[in-house]
Amino acid sequence: MAQAAGIRSLDDARAWAAAAAVPDPEVPCVTVADLGILRSVEIEDGVAVAKVSPTYSGCPAVVAIELAIEAALREAGFEPRIERVMSPAWTTDWITAEGREKLRAYGIAPPVNASKSKMALFGETVVNCPRCGSPDTHKVSEFGSTPCKAHYICKACAEPFDYFKCI
Protein backbone atom coordinates (compact mmCIF):
# COMPACT_ATOMS: atom_id res chain seq x y z
CA MET A 1 0.00 0.00 0.00
CA ALA A 2 1.36 3.34 -1.08
CA GLN A 3 1.20 5.21 2.15
CA ALA A 4 1.93 2.64 4.89
CA ALA A 5 4.97 4.65 5.97
CA GLY A 6 2.95 7.84 6.32
CA ILE A 7 0.33 6.45 8.70
CA ARG A 8 0.60 8.19 12.04
CA SER A 9 -2.53 7.12 13.85
CA LEU A 10 -5.37 4.63 13.94
CA ASP A 11 -7.66 7.25 12.36
CA ASP A 12 -5.20 7.75 9.49
CA ALA A 13 -5.24 3.98 8.95
CA ARG A 14 -9.05 3.79 9.05
CA ALA A 15 -9.43 6.73 6.66
CA TRP A 16 -6.89 5.22 4.25
CA ALA A 17 -8.66 1.84 4.34
CA ALA A 18 -12.03 3.46 3.55
CA ALA A 19 -10.69 5.50 0.63
CA ALA A 20 -8.41 2.76 -0.69
CA ALA A 21 -11.33 0.35 -1.17
CA VAL A 22 -13.05 2.61 -3.75
CA PRO A 23 -13.16 0.88 -7.17
CA ASP A 24 -12.14 2.66 -10.37
CA PRO A 25 -15.38 3.62 -12.18
CA GLU A 26 -14.10 2.57 -15.64
CA VAL A 27 -12.17 -0.53 -14.56
CA PRO A 28 -14.06 -1.71 -11.45
CA CYS A 29 -11.85 -4.79 -10.92
CA VAL A 30 -9.15 -2.56 -9.41
CA THR A 31 -9.29 -0.02 -6.60
CA VAL A 32 -7.93 3.51 -6.62
CA ALA A 33 -5.15 2.23 -4.34
CA ASP A 34 -4.29 -0.64 -6.75
CA LEU A 35 -3.90 1.92 -9.56
CA GLY A 36 -1.78 4.20 -7.40
CA ILE A 37 -3.99 7.21 -8.07
CA LEU A 38 -4.85 7.56 -4.35
CA ARG A 39 -1.58 9.03 -3.06
CA SER A 40 -2.32 9.47 0.64
CA VAL A 41 -5.03 10.05 3.24
CA GLU A 42 -4.17 11.93 6.41
CA ILE A 43 -6.19 13.56 9.17
CA GLU A 44 -5.44 17.27 9.42
CA ASP A 45 -7.31 19.27 12.08
CA GLY A 46 -10.13 16.75 12.07
CA VAL A 47 -10.47 16.67 8.26
CA ALA A 48 -9.52 13.56 6.24
CA VAL A 49 -7.43 14.94 3.37
CA ALA A 50 -7.17 12.53 0.42
CA LYS A 51 -4.61 13.31 -2.28
CA VAL A 52 -5.51 12.00 -5.73
CA SER A 53 -3.51 12.04 -8.99
CA PRO A 54 -5.35 11.92 -12.32
CA THR A 55 -4.18 9.28 -14.83
CA TYR A 56 -4.65 11.47 -17.95
CA SER A 57 -5.24 15.24 -18.14
CA GLY A 58 -8.56 14.72 -19.89
CA CYS A 59 -9.69 11.60 -18.02
CA PRO A 60 -13.47 12.04 -17.65
CA ALA A 61 -13.43 9.71 -14.62
CA VAL A 62 -11.38 12.11 -12.47
CA VAL A 63 -14.39 13.87 -10.97
CA ALA A 64 -16.31 10.60 -10.47
CA ILE A 65 -13.32 9.12 -8.64
CA GLU A 66 -12.99 12.16 -6.39
CA LEU A 67 -16.70 12.10 -5.54
CA ALA A 68 -16.57 8.36 -4.79
CA ILE A 69 -13.60 8.78 -2.42
CA GLU A 70 -15.35 11.69 -0.73
CA ALA A 71 -18.49 9.58 -0.22
CA ALA A 72 -16.49 6.61 1.11
CA LEU A 73 -14.73 8.81 3.68
CA ARG A 74 -18.00 10.40 4.76
CA GLU A 75 -19.56 6.95 5.13
CA ALA A 76 -16.68 5.92 7.40
CA GLY A 77 -17.42 8.91 9.65
CA PHE A 78 -14.82 11.40 8.41
CA GLU A 79 -15.17 14.97 7.20
CA PRO A 80 -13.45 14.61 3.79
CA ARG A 81 -11.46 16.97 1.60
CA ILE A 82 -10.01 15.96 -1.79
CA GLU A 83 -6.82 17.49 -3.14
CA ARG A 84 -5.88 16.94 -6.78
CA VAL A 85 -2.11 16.41 -7.04
CA MET A 86 -0.53 17.00 -10.47
CA SER A 87 3.13 16.78 -9.47
CA PRO A 88 4.77 14.31 -9.61
CA ALA A 89 2.71 13.09 -12.55
CA TRP A 90 1.02 9.72 -12.17
CA THR A 91 2.78 6.86 -13.93
CA THR A 92 1.75 3.26 -14.63
CA ASP A 93 4.78 2.28 -12.49
CA TRP A 94 2.56 3.11 -9.49
CA ILE A 95 0.11 0.29 -10.29
CA THR A 96 0.70 -2.32 -7.56
CA ALA A 97 1.68 -5.93 -8.33
CA GLU A 98 -1.74 -6.97 -7.04
CA GLY A 99 -3.39 -4.38 -9.30
CA ARG A 100 -1.55 -5.72 -12.35
CA GLU A 101 -2.68 -9.25 -11.58
CA LYS A 102 -6.29 -8.11 -11.12
CA LEU A 103 -6.16 -6.31 -14.48
CA ARG A 104 -4.85 -9.41 -16.24
CA ALA A 105 -7.49 -11.64 -14.64
CA TYR A 106 -10.15 -9.12 -15.76
CA GLY A 107 -8.94 -9.38 -19.39
CA ILE A 108 -6.87 -6.19 -19.60
CA ALA A 109 -3.17 -6.66 -20.36
CA PRO A 110 -1.21 -4.70 -17.72
CA PRO A 111 1.50 -2.20 -18.81
CA VAL A 112 4.61 -4.04 -19.95
CA ASN A 113 7.62 -1.87 -19.30
CA ALA A 114 8.70 0.47 -16.61
CA SER A 115 7.67 3.86 -18.03
CA LYS A 116 11.27 5.11 -18.25
CA SER A 117 12.58 2.06 -20.14
CA LYS A 118 13.66 2.58 -23.76
CA MET A 119 10.11 3.15 -25.13
CA ALA A 120 11.61 5.33 -27.85
CA LEU A 121 9.47 7.56 -30.02
CA PHE A 122 8.61 4.75 -32.42
CA GLY A 123 9.39 1.90 -30.01
CA GLU A 124 7.58 -1.42 -30.15
CA THR A 125 6.54 -3.47 -27.15
CA VAL A 126 5.45 -7.09 -26.91
CA VAL A 127 2.10 -7.38 -25.17
CA ASN A 128 1.01 -10.82 -23.99
CA CYS A 129 -2.62 -11.85 -24.47
CA PRO A 130 -4.35 -11.71 -21.05
CA ARG A 131 -6.46 -14.74 -22.01
CA CYS A 132 -4.00 -17.29 -23.43
CA GLY A 133 -0.67 -15.64 -22.59
CA SER A 134 0.59 -15.70 -26.20
CA PRO A 135 3.06 -12.95 -27.19
CA ASP A 136 1.73 -13.18 -30.78
CA THR A 137 -0.54 -10.14 -30.56
CA HIS A 138 -1.29 -7.25 -32.91
CA LYS A 139 -1.94 -3.62 -32.04
CA VAL A 140 -5.21 -2.60 -33.69
CA SER A 141 -5.11 0.96 -32.41
CA GLU A 142 -2.95 3.07 -30.14
CA PHE A 143 -6.21 4.29 -28.62
CA GLY A 144 -9.00 2.32 -26.97
CA SER A 145 -12.22 2.63 -25.03
CA THR A 146 -10.71 4.96 -22.39
CA PRO A 147 -7.71 7.35 -22.52
CA CYS A 148 -5.56 4.87 -20.55
CA LYS A 149 -6.01 1.89 -22.89
CA ALA A 150 -4.92 0.72 -26.36
CA HIS A 151 -6.74 -1.84 -28.50
CA TYR A 152 -5.08 -5.20 -29.33
CA ILE A 153 -6.04 -8.54 -30.81
CA CYS A 154 -4.44 -11.92 -30.08
CA LYS A 155 -3.37 -13.79 -33.21
CA ALA A 156 -3.13 -17.10 -31.30
CA CYS A 157 -6.63 -17.24 -29.76
CA ALA A 158 -8.30 -14.40 -31.72
CA GLU A 159 -9.34 -12.60 -28.52
CA PRO A 160 -9.67 -8.83 -28.89
CA PHE A 161 -8.45 -7.14 -25.70
CA ASP A 162 -7.48 -3.85 -24.07
CA TYR A 163 -3.88 -3.03 -23.12
CA PHE A 164 -3.30 -0.61 -20.24
CA LYS A 165 -0.87 1.83 -21.86
CA CYS A 166 2.50 2.37 -20.25
CA ILE A 167 3.06 6.05 -19.44
Partner 1 sequence: MAGRDELFAALLQLADDHLILGHRVGEWTGHAPMLEEDLALTNLALDLLGQARAIYAYAGQVEGEGRDEDKLAFLRLELEYRNLLLVERPNGDFAHTILRQFYFAAFMKPWWDWAAVNSTDETLKGIAGKAAKEMAYHVRHCGEWVIRLGDGTDESAARMRAAVDALHRYTAELFTDTPAFKACVDADILPARDSIRPAWDATVRMVFDEARLDVPEVPFPAQGGRDGLHGEEMGHLLAELQYMQRTYPDMKW
Binding site for partner 1 (CB under 8 A): 54, 56-60, 85-91, 115, 121-122, 140-145, 147, 151, 165, 167
Residue nearer to partner 1 on the CB measure, 1 or 68: 68
Shortest separation between residue 74's beta carbon and partner 1, angstroms: 22
Residue nearer to partner 1 on the CB measure, 46 or 58: 58
DSSP letters, 106-158, are HTEEPP-S-TTSS--TT-------TTT--S-EEEEES--SSTTEEEEEETTT-
Residue nearer to partner 1 on the CB measure, 47 or 89: 89
Shortest separation between residue 36's beta carbon and partner 1, angstroms: 14
Number of Cβ atoms within 10 Å of the Cβ of 38 = 25
Rounded to 5°, angle at Cα 108 from 132 and 27: 150
Shortest separation between residue 28's beta carbon and partner 1, angstroms: 21
* 8-state DSSP, 88: S
Residue nearer to partner 1 on the CB measure, 59 or 82: 59
**11 three-state secondary structure:** helix
Shortest separation between residue 141's beta carbon and partner 1, angstroms: 4
